[in-house]
Amino acid sequence: MTSAPLPDTAPAAGPASDNSAPASSGTVCRLALDGEAATLALARRLAPLLRPGDVIALRGDLGAGKSTFARAVIRALGVEGAIPSPTFTLIQSYDLAPGGALEAVHHADLYRLADPEEVIELGLDDLLAGGALLVEWPDRGVGFLPQAALTVSLETGSKDTARVAVLEGDEQWYDGRWSGLTQ
């Protein structure tokens, strides 16, 4: 149920290794997650760090845990009840309790988009004014998503339930928030 930085991957500066997601040049950290509980714990650590305008790009293969991670973030922000997948609706929006840092959190799934330009029709930029945006399959909207993002890539770990989370963030993420994620 713990997460730990992998020995050879202490946070380091440098560009993202691939450009299929929003640009996230900056700090890179790899965390070993020894099961679903550790993945959920990372999502719960991320939730209170979110600010209006934040974009979290969730990458990984089918079944990697992107939707589970997004639901855990949304739940940690105080949303109760059903949190359905946005696979068919493309976007699910949740109003948050007044008085918090965020007015809303939005969860988008771009898997079904045939062309990256379709992102324009979704109006994702408009959602960022008072809220944060979690985006699954960000590569489906490359070139049309906000450039500043924290990318969370979930990769298969050494066991069936283990994952490796690769976190890539720009300067807005290492202004004091980075340590909240990697501890």
Domains in the chain: ranges and CATH: 29-113+120-141 (3.40.50.300)
**Residue range 84-138, pLDDT digits in tens:** 988 888 999 999 999 888 999 999 999 989 888 888 888 888 888 889 999 999 9
Using 50, 70 and 90 to split pLDDT, how confident is the model at 13? very low
Q: Inform me whether the pLDDT recorded for 6 exceeds 50.
A: no
Q: What is the mean pLDDT of the chain?
A: 81
Distance CA 122, CA 125 (A): 9
Determine which of 28-42, 107-121, 158-172 has the lowest per-residue pLDDT on average. 158-172
Distance CA 119, CA 111 (A): 11
Contact 101, 50 (CB under 8 A): yes
pLDDT given for residue 169 in this prediction = 82
Using 50, 70 and 90 to split pLDDT, how confident is the model at 20? very low
Contact 81, 58 (CB under 8 A): no
pLDDT given for residue 8 in this prediction = 37
Mean pLDDT over 46-58 rounds to: 92
Selected residue with higher pLDDT from 148 and 130: 130
pLDDT given for residue 24 in this prediction = 42
pTM of the predicted protein model: 0.81
Write the DSSP string, 2-40: -EEE-TT---B----S--SSS---SEEEEEEE-SHHHHH
Contact 32, 164 (CB under 8 A): yes
pLDDT given for residue 90 in this prediction = 93
What is the percent of the chain with per-residue pLDDT over 90, rounded to a whole number?
38
Query: Dihedral sign, CA of 77, 51, 127, 20?
Result: negative
Q: Inform me whether the pLDDT recorded for 21 exceeds 70.
A: no
